[in-house]
Amino acid sequence: MTATATPAAETREPRLPLGPMLRMQVAVEQRIFWRNKSGMFFTFILPIALLFTLALSNDPIDMVPFIAALGILSTGFQGLSIQLAMHRDQGVLKRIMATPLPASLLILGKAISTTIVILVEILIVITVGVGLFDAPLPEHPFILLGLVLLGTATFVALGYALASIIPTSESAPAITNAAYLGLLLVTVLIAQVDAIPDWLQDIGTHGLPLRALIESIDHAWMGPWKASDAWSALTLAAWGAIGALWSVRRFRWEPANER
């Protein structure tokens, strides 16, 4: 992804090889995350609390894949877009772009750091689901891992796309929460309400990224995984490509008052 106006620093020769620079950027992103106590709460504690709450009125085994998918949405989409908007308004992104760090490594570093956090989150959900709710171990663990990585890449790309339309950091929580809840409600309601026309249910079932993520995780975890389930992976990949292409054209590094 590149900014609408490529920073001058982008053309400079990096002082370090790309590999060490990327490792340093990932380490910085990890320190930022683990020092944020509220972010850790919403990432690790809230999904487990939600799992216990939903287990009171639903089969907890059915809820475990749903909570795993919700964690990817929350961390890779909602949390990342808020962080990007805040760092942009605070001038953090602009200052980083004045260093020899290429924009591509900044984006990749944030994506890798987000992936690490999500993998820890999924591991916690699996541990709680198997240990406390008697959920089975994933039936197709490697497919599940691949889908988690694909889902993370998709919602990270969509998180950048959402951040590109957020005007200021003050409006970031409202816009991201509206997008998060809107996507969640539309995904759930389309699957549950019988009065919705069949064509709209087909779009919701086969076309929305969150529905594709939930269903693919559920089938990879609980089984059976069928060849037709590859459609969910294609749906995720398509949404990831849309988010990436939008971000390439629209994402900006500088605060709105400096444009």
Quote the pLDDT of residue 234.
92
Rounded-to-integer distance, Cα 141 and Cα 180, Å: 27
Quote the pLDDT of residue 144.
92
Please compute, for residue 175, the number of CA atoms within 13 A of its CA located in the half-sphere on the CB side: 20
Quote the pLDDT of residue 5.
46
- Do 47 and 117 meet the contact criterion of CB atoms below 8 Å apart? no
The tally of domains found in the chain comes to 1
Instruction: Report yes or no on 192 lying in a domain.
Output: yes
Quote the pLDDT of residue 54.
72
Instruction: Report yes or no on 117 lying in a domain.
Output: yes
Instruction: Report yes or no on 7 lying in a domain.
Output: no
Instruction: Report yes or no on 195 lying in a domain.
Output: yes
Quote the pLDDT of residue 8.
44
**pLDDT in single tens digits along all 259 residues of the chain:** 544 444 444 444 446 688 888 889 899 889 988 888 777 777 778 777 877 777 666 677 778 888 888 889 989 998 899 989 998 988 888 888 888 888 888 889 999 999 999 999 999 988 888 888 888 888 999 999 999 999 999 999 999 999 999 998 899 989 998 998 888 888 877 666 666 666 666 666 668 899 889 888 989 988 788 877 788 899 999 999 999 999 989 888 888 766 6
Instruction: Report yes or no on 100 lying in a domain.
Output: yes
Quote the pLDDT of residue 64.
83
**Helix segments in the chain, DSSP class H:** 18-34, 37-40, 46-55, 60-73, 80-89, 92-97, 103-133, 141-165, 172-192, 198-206, 209-222, 230-250
Quote the pLDDT of residue 194.
61
- Do 115 and 195 meet the contact criterion of CB atoms below 8 Å apart? no
Q: What is the residue type of 237? A: A
Identify the three-state secondary structure at position 170. Answer: coil
Rounded-to-integer distance, Cα 53 and Cα 62, Å: 13
Domain span at residue 131 reads: 16-246
Instruction: Report yes or no on 205 lying in a domain.
Output: yes
Quote the pLDDT of residue 229.
79
Instruction: Report yes or no on 229 lying in a domain.
Output: yes
- Do 140 and 223 meet the contact criterion of CB atoms below 8 Å apart? yes
Quote the pLDDT of residue 176.
92
Instruction: Report yes or no on 153 lying in a domain.
Output: yes
Quote the pLDDT of residue 196.
65
